[in-house]
Structure 1
Amino acid sequence: MMGNQFFCLKLLLAFYLSSCHYVSVAHTENSFLPLKAVNLGNWLVTEGWMKPSLFDGITNKDLLDGTQVQFMSTKLQKYLCAENGGGDVVVANRTKPYGWETFRLWRVNESTFNFRVSHKQFVGLEDENGGSKLVATSDIPTNMETFQIVRNDGDPSRIRIRAPNGLFLQATGETLMTADYEVSTWEDSWEDSDPSVFKMTVLTNTVLKGEYQLTNGYGPDKASKIMRDHWNKYITEDDFKFMSENGLNAVRIPVGWWIAKDPTPPKPFVGGSLAVLDNAFTWAQKHGMKVIVDLHAVQGSQNGQPHSASRDGYREWGESYIPDTVATIDFLAERYANSESLIAIELMNEPQGVNLQSLKSYYQAGYDAVRKHTSSAYVIMSSPLDRDPKVLLPFARGFSGVVMDVHYYNLFSNQFSNMNVQQNIDYIKNHRASELASLTTSNGPLTFVGEWSGDWKVRGASKKDFQKFTQAQVKVYSRATFGWAYWAYKGDSNYWNLKWMIENNYFKF
C-alpha cells in the first residue's frame, strides 16, 4: 500500500513539475507580446526601390521582365496592336496606344524577349512552315514566340525586331504585320520611311524591380555572385545586436517560395538564401530576439507586385498553386519548428485580387502544415488588400494560435494627398485606432500591424513633424495584441530606414 501511495505521489509531483514547466514556457513566449519588430525587407526578397544600385550592372536594364512597351511603325505612324487583346493577328493601325497596344516583356537574355499581350498570350509567327504573319495566339512562349530587339546606337528608342526566322518585322500595311524583311549592312538605314523601323516607348512607371527581374537580368553567370554579396552585407549579426540593444524584440523576415528548393531553385533564382535564413535564426537566438518567417513571394504571385517576385505584373496564384504553396510552408515549419527563436510563420503576404474561398482553403491547409510540426508557433494570416480587413475574422476564429496581419501606410491612396501634418496624425488616432479595435475581439485572433512606416505624402515636414507622426503610430499600433513591425530596417530612403530613424532620433518607442 505504501508503495502505491509513494508511486501516486511521484506521479502527482511529475505532473505538477511538468505543469509548472508548461506555464513557464508559455509565459516566457507570451512575454514577448506585443512585439516591437522590424521587417528585414529587401534582404532575401529583392525590392529594387529600396536599393536601386543592385540593378546598375544589368545591360538594357530598362527592358527587364514585365516592362511594358509600345511599338509605333515610323512609316505608318501607327501602333502595333494585338487584335482583341490576344487570340488573333497583330496589326499596325492604332493612332493611340492603350491596353491592346501594350506588350509585356519576358526577358530571355539582354536583347531577346517574348512579348505578352493583354489576355496573356504571346506574340509569335503564324506557324513553323514558313509562315511570316504575326499573331498573338500561344499560351506558352516557344522559339516561335522569341524575338530580338535591335536598338539604334544613336537613338535606342528606334528599333528593329528580328523574328525567329532570322528576318525582321515590317508593317506592310495597317492590317498585316509580317516577318520577311531583310536588312543588310550596306542598307542599314534608320529612316522613318523604312517599314522595319519602329519607335519603342518604354512605360517607365511599369518597370518592375523584384527578385525575378534582378536574377534574370544578370543571368546565371552573374546573378549568383550578386545575390550572395548582397545577402552577406545587407544584414549582419551586428544589425541584430543593434536591434536588440535599441528595444526591438523580433524581426519579420520576408522569404520567397524558391527558398524551399535551395540550393538549386528553379531559374532564374539562385541558391544560398536558406543558409542566410539559418544565420538569422542563430543571430536572433544569440541576441534574445524572435523571428517571424513571412512567405512574401508565392509561386505564381499573389498580387502582381515586384515584392512578390512577379515576372510580369500579372497575378497568377490561385487554386492550382495551393499544393506547392503549402509545401513551402511545410518545409519552413519543419526546418524551424524546434528553434527557440521561431515565434510565427506568416502564410502569405498581402494577397490581392485572389479568390476568397481559395485563400481560405490555402490558409486552412497552411495552418495544418504548421501545426503538424509545432503547436506553439503562431500562424499569421494576412488580410486581402482589396477587401475589408474584417472579412476573414469569422474564419480565423475557428483556429487557435492565429494572428491577423494588417498593413497601414499613409501613402498609397489619393485620400492622403492633401492631408497636412495634423490631419495625418488625426487619421492615425481616429480611423486607424477604431479599425484596429474592431479587429481585436475577445474570441478572435491576435492582431498584428505587420507593416507601417514613417513616410507620408506631406512635403517639407520638419523633424518634429516626423517624430509626432511616428509616435502617434507607435502609440496606436502598440494596441495590436500581437504587436507591430516597422517597414523596414534598412533602405536608401531614410524614412523607410528604421536604423537611420533610430540613430537620428526620429523614432522612439
Structure 2
Amino acid sequence: MAMNCHSMHREAMPLHGNYLPCNGNQLSLGFASRRLTCLHSRGLGGTDVFSPILVGSNFCLQVKLYLKEHWSTFIVEEDFKFIKSNGLNAVRIPVGWWIASDPSPPKPYVAGSLQVLDNAFLWSEKYGINVIIDLHAAPGSQNGWEHSSSRDGSQEWGQTNDNIQQTVDIIDFLTARYAKSPSLFAVELINEPLSPGVSLENVTKYYKAGYDAVRKHSQTAYVVLSNRLGPSQPRELFTPANGLTRVAIDVHYYSLFSSIFDSFTIEQNIEYVNNNRSAQLSEITTSNGPLTFVGEWVAEWQVRDARKEDYQRFADAQIQVFNQATFGWAYWSLKNVNNYWSLEWMINNGYIKL
C-alpha cells in the first residue's frame, strides 16, 4: 500500500490527557500483491519504545498543524509511482474509526484523515494500484494497544451490541464511499482483535454483519478477516467464513515481540521462517477454504550486528514463504524512520529485491 496508513489513524491520542505517545513503527502504510504485495508506511517518532512527549496548553493547535504538514509531505503521489515501478500492486491503508465522523470527529481526534484517504484513492486509480482499507482502530479498542487508539491499555471493543453495530456502520460508510472506485480491492473489517478480551462469539457476530455491510455496496471487493491474537486456534475463522465469497484470513508474522526470538541466531531466524512459518501458513491455506493473507511482516529481528547479506537472506526467506499465501502479503511498512521497517529504504539500498 502506498500511503500513510498508520499516520491516518494515530492522529492525536494524549496519554492520560498529558502525553502524545510516539513510535516510529506505528505510523504506517502497507502494500500487497495479487498475489498481493503490500506495504505500510510509518513516520512519527524514532524508537520501538513509546516515548512520552510532554505537550503544553496549545497541544491541540500544534497537533493539527503537525498532522497537516505530515499528511501533505510524508506520503505523496511520488510514493505511488515508486510502488508501481517496483512491481507492488496494492496498498493496505489502516484507518481509525473516527474517520467516519470527519470533518468533526470526537475529541481528542483531529479532522483531516478522510481527505488523506480520498487522495490515496485518487493516486491509486491513476497508477493502477489496489487499495485495502484496514480498520486498524475500532471504537473501544480491540486489543488495548496504542495503535488501536487505547489511551490507557483498556480493551472494550465488542462487549455490547451497540459497539459492534457502531463498527459495522463505519464499514458501511467506508465501503459506500469507495465502492465505485476501481481501486477498491478489499475491506479489512478489523485489525488484530486480541483474545481473550475479544471472544470468538463476538468477533464472529461482527464479521458476519461486517461482511453483509460490504456486500450491500460491493459484490467484488474482498472481505478480510483478521485472525485473533493471543489464545486462539489458527483455523477458528474457517467456520464463520464458510459460505462467504471473496474472503481472506489475515495473519501477522513477526520475528519479534516474543521472548523465543531473543536469543535466536541469524541461522535460527531463517530456519524458523522456512520451517515454522511455512508450516503455520500451510495449516490455514486450503484449496477450498478462505484465501490467506500475511497482512504484516518485516525484515527486522533481535539479531545485533547483522550484515547486509544477513538481512538479504532473512528478507528473501520470508518472501519465498509468504509468496505461498493465496491472497498475498503486506510489508510493514513503506516508509519509516527505522530503516529496516521501511520497504522503500530496503529496496533503494539493495536489502530487498522483489
TM-score range, shorter chain: 0.7 to 0.9
2:248 is the alignment partner of 1:403: yes
What residue is the counterpart of 1:299 in the other structure? 139
Instruction: Please tell me whether the aligned partners of residues 409 and 453 of structure 1 are also in contact (alpha carbons under 8 angstroms).
Output: yes
2:200 is the alignment partner of 1:356: yes
Alignment deviations for residues 415-455 of structure 1 (CA, whole Å, 9 cap, x no partner): 11111111111111111111111111122100000000010
Whole-angstrom distance in 1 between the partners of 2:96 and 2:229: 19
What residue is the counterpart of 1:260 in the other structure? 100
What residue is the counterpart of 1:93 in the other structure? none
Instruction: Please tell me whether the aligned partners of residues 397 and 443 of structure 1 are also in contact (alpha carbons under 8 angstroms).
Output: no
Note the C-alpha offset of 1:317.
0.9
Whole-angstrom distance in 1 between the partners of 2:282 and 2:193: 22
Note the C-alpha offset of 1:479.
0.6
Whole-angstrom distance in 2 between the partners of 1:332 and 1:215: 33
2:9 is the alignment partner of 1:45: yes
Instruction: Please tell me whether the aligned partners of residues 470 and 507 of structure 1 are also in contact (alpha carbons under 8 angstroms).
Output: yes
Alignment deviations for residues 208-267 of structure 1 (CA, whole Å, 9 cap, x no partner): 77xxx9999863333222211111111000000011101111000000000000000001
2:271 is the alignment partner of 1:426: yes
Instruction: Please tell me whether the aligned partners of residues 284 and 291 of structure 1 are also in contact (alpha carbons under 8 angstroms).
Output: yes
What residue is the counterpart of 1:276 in the other structure? 116
Note the C-alpha offset of 1:397.
2.1
What residue is the counterpart of 2:32 in the other structure? none
Cα gap change, 1:275 to 1:444, in 2 (>3 Å): same
Note the C-alpha offset of 1:399.
1.0
What residue is the counterpart of 2:31 in the other structure? none
Instruction: Please tell me whether the aligned partners of residues 38 and 485 of structure 1 are also in contact (alpha carbons under 8 angstroms).
Output: no
What residue is the counterpart of 2:177 in the other structure? 335
Instruction: Please tell me whether the aligned partners of residues 171 and 189 of structure 2 are also in contact (alpha carbons under 8 angstroms).
Output: yes
Whole-angstrom distance in 2 between the partners of 1:459 and 1:390: 35
Q: What stretches of structure 1 of length at least 5 have no aligned partner?
A: 1-36, 48-54, 56-63, 67-105, 111-204
What residue is the counterpart of 1:456 in the other structure? 301
2:285 is the alignment partner of 1:440: yes
What residue is the counterpart of 1:493 in the other structure? 338
Whole-angstrom distance in 2 between the partners of 1:475 and 1:365: 35
2:209 is the alignment partner of 1:365: yes
Alignment of 1:189-228 (within 5 A): 219-228=59-68
Give the 3-state SS of the residue equivalent to 1:43 in structure 2.
Answer: helix
Q: What stretches of structure 2 of length at least 5 have no aligned partner?
A: 20-47
Structure with more contact order per residue of length (Cα contacts < 8 Å, sep ≥ 6): 2
Give the 3-state SS of the residue equivalent to 1:42 in structure 2.
Answer: helix
What residue is the counterpart of 2:41 in the other structure? none
Counterpart of 1:310 in structure 2: which amino acid? S
What residue is the counterpart of 1:172 in the other structure? none
Counterpart of 1:354 in structure 2: which amino acid? V
Note the C-alpha offset of 1:308.
0.5
Given candidates 385, 389, 395, the residue that maps to 2:229 is 385
Give the 3-state SS of the residue equivalent to 1:319 in structure 2.
Answer: coil
Note the C-alpha offset of 1:206.
8.8
Give the 3-state SS of the residue equivalent to 1:431 in structure 2.
Answer: helix
Alignment of 1:1-12 (within 5 A): none
What residue is the counterpart of 1:504 in the other structure? 349
Counterpart of 2:353 in structure 1: which amino acid? K
Give the 3-state SS of the residue equivalent to 2:6 in structure 1.
Answer: coil
Instruction: Please tell me whether the aligned partners of residues 38 and 487 of structure 1 are also in contact (alpha carbons under 8 angstroms).
Output: no
Whole-angstrom distance in 2 between the partners of 1:462 and 1:293: 35
Cα gap change, 1:383 to 1:470, in 2 (>3 Å): same
Note the C-alpha offset of 1:273.
0.8
Note the C-alpha offset of 1:398.
2.8
Instruction: Please tell me whether the aligned partners of residues 329 and 370 of structure 1 are also in contact (alpha carbons under 8 angstroms).
Output: yes
Note the C-alpha offset of 1:43.
2.4
Which has more strand, going by share of residues? 1
Given candidates 241, 257, 265, the residue that maps to 1:412 is 257
